[in-house]
Amino acid sequence: MNLVTEITILVLAVFVGFEVISKVPTTLHTPLMSQTNAIHGIVLLGGLIVVGYSNDFLGELIGFIAIVFGTINIVGGFMVTDRMLEMFGPKKKKPASVEAASDSATDSTEAGS
């Protein structure tokens, strides 16, 4: 892929990112941060790729550490986000905000499924 294509993708992703993330409510900023944290664990892919062509002990060690770090980042990040969001999930109390109506609609469909 050429550099210009990649920069195009990057710039478009910046706009999508700003658009999507600025809509996340303040209440969820901590889970948002830990979720995006888990998402950047995607560098694990880089670790998987480079370890394939490492050819000495140091190279393998570097690759191994990178894979361990990346995996902790992904697994830990998603699990801890899930723990947090579980607390925000629909359970006893209904969220009584402007979105109450649409939320309770979602809740009932979820309960039905």
Q: How many beta carbons lie within 10 A of that of residue 34, not counting itself? A: 20
109 lies in the binding site for other proteins (CB under 8 A): no
Burial class (CB in 10 A: 0-12, 13-18, 19+), 42: exposed
Identity of the amino acid at 77: G
Binding pattern for the stretch 10-49 against other proteins, x by CB under 8 A and - elsewhere: x--xx-xxx-xxxxxxxxxxxxxxxxxxxxxxxxxxxxxx
Where in 69-98 is the site for other proteins (CB under 8 A)? Answer: 69-90, 92-93, 95-97
Q: How many beta carbons lie within 10 A of that of residue 60, not counting itself? A: 12
111 lies in the binding site for other proteins (CB under 8 A): no
53 lies in the binding site for other proteins (CB under 8 A): yes
How many residues bind other proteins, per CB under 8 A? 90
As measured in angstroms, the least distance from the Cβ of 8 to other proteins is 10
The sign of the dihedral angle between the CA atoms of 39, 41, 43, 47 is negative
